[in-house]
Amino acid sequence: MGEPNMNSILDALRAFAREDQILIDEPMARHTTFRVGGPADAMFLPESADQLVAAIDAATAAGVPVLVIGNGSNLLVRDGGIRGLVIALGERFSAMECSGRIVKVQAGASLARVAAFAQGNGLAGLEFASGIPGTLGGGCAMNAGAYGGQLSDVLIDAEVYLDGAVRTLTRDEMQMGYRTTLPLRKGGIVLSARFALSPDDPEAIGARMRELNARRRDKQPLNYPSAGSVFKRPEGYFAGALIEQAGLKGRAVHGAMVSEKHAGFIVKAGEATAADILALIAIVQAEVEARFGVRLETEVRILGEDTACLEG
């Protein structure tokens, strides 16, 4: 921190936001599910779409890099942290409202909370989302799904900041495919979304949610910090199966470990840094490629700078 352009962006933020919405040298370990990562130069916690857009525009005008995140469930931030401005969409940007069978949600709401809100209003269709560890904005941008359902099944439209303007895109205009959408491909940011759901008995909806979450707990190492599946599914294979067949379950670099419950997960089982996790990723990639001739690509987004880059 302290560079002139960062000072100018902080001044710009203070013109329309309170001081408690602006965090300096904020450890990214507090904002990712991996619980690792060095500091962001500055972090902003917007409370409205207008504030979010104003912050992006101010950073762009100042030439400051800007990154928008949800709860960091698919991020691995290096130990040197992130230069520029991180905008974190969370509880302050998570309003939900229900009108008939339509639910409207701001981007910072967790998918688990959205599913519970729908259930509480006797609306079915989002049960699959109750165990997805992410926010509505990120989930909508990547068309998140699980257990045979995905957000495109129930989306009406989304409010998106794209190409310098706020636009409302219909489900067709969102161009939603398997884990992809137009905003994701073009760097757009989902601000809110509306879903058309089906009336049902809240108890029946809850039973389905509990069943899906029990299946998830049985298969995934939810008792350790992680970023979910680390690797993309290679064509014709399953990443977790290849890693297990290579004998890598339980392989560790300090506190970073290939999960013994699900080999597609790397977990923080003890004291670990981002560098430890990256070293373990490299080991897994090298050994799987040596044995099977398959190069695993990371699904988790790897961001930021190594500590050595800051010291050098």
**212 in the same domain as 113:** yes
Q: What is the pLDDT of residues 130-162, one digit of tens each?
A: 999 899 999 999 999 998 999 999 999 999 999
Residues 121 and 57 in one domain: no
Residue 257 and residue 183 share a domain: no
Report pLDDT for 3. Answer: 60
Provide the pLDDT for residue 243. Answer: 98
Can you give the pLDDT at residue 4?
A: 57
**Residues 198, 105 share a domain:** yes
Residue 187 CB coordination number (10 Å): 11
The mean per-residue pLDDT over the stretch 233-246 comes to 96
Measured distance CA(108)–CA(191) in Å, rounded: 8
* One-letter identity of residue 246: A
Domain count, the chain: 3
Based on the domain organization, do 12 and 88 belong to the same domain?
Answer: yes
Domain boundary among 195, 218, 241: 218
Q: What is the pLDDT of residues 204-217, one digit of tens each?
A: 999 999 999 999 99
- Say which CATH number the domain at 284 has: 3.90.78.10
Question: What would the mean pLDDT of 30-56 be, rounded to a whole number?
Answer: 97
Burial of residue 100 (number of CB atoms within 10 Å: 0-12, 13-18, 19+): exposed
**Residue 22 maps to which CATH number?**
3.30.43.10
Domain that holds residue 34: 4-92
Q: Are 107 and 191 in contact (CB under 8 A)?
A: yes
- Catalytic center residues: 179, 229, 299
H-run or E-run covering 268:
strand 265-268
One domain, residues 18 and 74: yes
Output the six-digit token pair for 217: 């707990």
Tell me the mean pLDDT in the region 160-181: 95
Please give the span between the terminal C-alpha atoms of the chain, in angstroms, as a whole number: 17
Please report which confidence band the pLDDT of residue 311 belongs to, taking 50, 70 and 90 as the band edges. Answer: very low
Domain end residue (candidates: 200, 218, 236): 218
* 88 in the same domain as 25: yes
Do 200 and 237 have their domain in common?
no
Shared-domain flag, residues 171 and 207: yes
The pLDDT assigned to 88 comes to: 97
Residue type, 104: K
With b for 16 or more beta-carbon neighbours within 10 A and e for fewer, the 164-176 pattern comes to eeeeebebeebbb
The pLDDT value recorded for residue 5 is 83
**Whether residue 242 has pLDDT greater than 50:** yes
Q: Each residue of 4-20: pLDDT tens digit?
A: 589 999 999 999 999 99
Residue after which a domain boundary falls, among 172, 192, 218: 218
pLDDT at 309: 46
Quick one: what percent of the chain has pLDDT higher than 90? Answer: 93
Q: How confident is the model at residue 122 (pLDDT cuts 50, 70, 90)?
A: very high
Pairing of strands 102-106, 189-196: antiparallel
Residue 23 is predicted with a pLDDT of 98
Task: State yes or no: pLDDT of 310 exceeds 90.
Answer: no
pLDDT score of 307 = 78
Output the average pLDDT for the chain: 95
CATH code of the domain covering residue 170: 3.30.465.10
Are 24 and 100 members of one domain? no
Same domain, 176 and 232: no
Kindly list the distances between the CA atom of residue 151 and the CA atoms of 102, 129, 193, 208, 267, in Å, as whole numbers in the listed order: 14, 8, 10, 17, 27
Residues in the chain: 312
- Judged against a pLDDT cut of 50, whether residue 306 lies above it is answered with yes
Rounded CA separation 147/19 (Å): 42
pLDDT of 178 reads: 83
Residues 293 and 206 in one domain: no
